[in-house]
Chains A and B, each alone.
Chain A
Amino acid sequence: MTSAFYDLTVSHFLILAAALFMIGVAGVLLRRNAIIVMMSIELMLNAANITILAFSRGFAGEHRAAFQGQTFALIVIAIAAAEAAVGLAIVVTVFRSRRHSDIDRLTLLKN
Chain B
Amino acid sequence: MNQVVVRWLWVSIAAALVVFFVAAPGLALAAEHSAQAEVSAHTFKNSKAVAFLFWFLAAGTLGGSIFVITRRNMVTAVMGMVATFFAIAGLFLMLYASFLAVMQVLVYAGAIMVLFVFVIMILNRPEDEPWAIHGLLGKGMAAIGLLYLFKRLASILWQVKDTHGLVVEKAQLAADVVLNHADPGVAAGTKELITRSYQFGSVEGVGYTLFSNYLFPFEAVSIVLLVAVVGAIAIARPLHKEAEMADQEAP
DSSP majority for the A interface?
A: helix
The segment from B134-142, B148-156, B199-207 found at the interface with A is B199-207
B198 within 8 A of A: no
Interface residues on B, range: 35 or more
A20-B61, A81-B112 given; A12·B231 CB < 8 A: no
B29 touches A53 (CB 8 A): no
A71 touches B20 (CB 8 A): no
Which B205-221 residues sit within 8 Å CB-CB of chain A? 205-206, 208-210, 213-214, 217-218, 221
Q: Which residues of A contact B217 (CB under 8 A)?
A: 71, 75
Which B185-237 residues sit within 8 Å CB-CB of chain A? 193, 197, 200-201, 205-206, 208-210, 213-214, 217-218, 221, 224-225, 227-229, 231-233, 235-236
Q: Which residues of B contact A9 (CB under 8 A)?
A: 28, 31-32, 39, 42-44
Q: Which residues of A contact B20 (CB under 8 A)?
A: 15, 19
A7 touches B112 (CB 8 A): no
A26-B69, A86-B235 given; A74·B28 CB < 8 A: no
A82 touches B25 (CB 8 A): no
With a 10 A CB-CB cut-off, give which of A38, A46, A59, A81 has the most chain B CB atoms: A46
A43 touches B32 (CB 8 A): no
A61 touches B41 (CB 8 A): yes
A22 touches B16 (CB 8 A): yes
B119 within 8 A of A: yes
A46-B88, A67-B205 given; A4·B28 CB < 8 A: yes
Q: Which residues of B contact A80 (CB under 8 A)?
A: 108, 112
Shortest CB distance B196–A (Å) = 8
On chain A, the number of residues with a Cβ less than 8 Å from chain B's Cβ atoms is 73
A62-B41, A90-B235 given; A82·B228 CB < 8 A: yes
Which B5-45 residues sit within 8 Å CB-CB of chain A? 6, 9, 13, 16-17, 20, 24-29, 31-32, 39, 41-45
A36 within 8 A of B: yes
Which A30-50 residues sit within 8 Å CB-CB of chain B? 30-31, 33, 35-36, 38-40, 42-43, 46, 49-50
On B, residues with C-beta under 8 Å from A are: 6, 9, 13, 16-17, 20, 24-29, 31-32, 39, 41-46, 48, 50-51, 54-55, 58, 61-62, 65-66, 68-69, 74, 77-78, 81, 84-85, 88, 91-92, 95-97, 99-100, 103-104, 107-108, 111-112, 115-116, 119-120, 122-123, 193, 197, 200-201, 205-206, 208-210, 213-214, 217-218, 221, 224-225, 227-229, 231-233, 235-236, 238, 243, 246-247
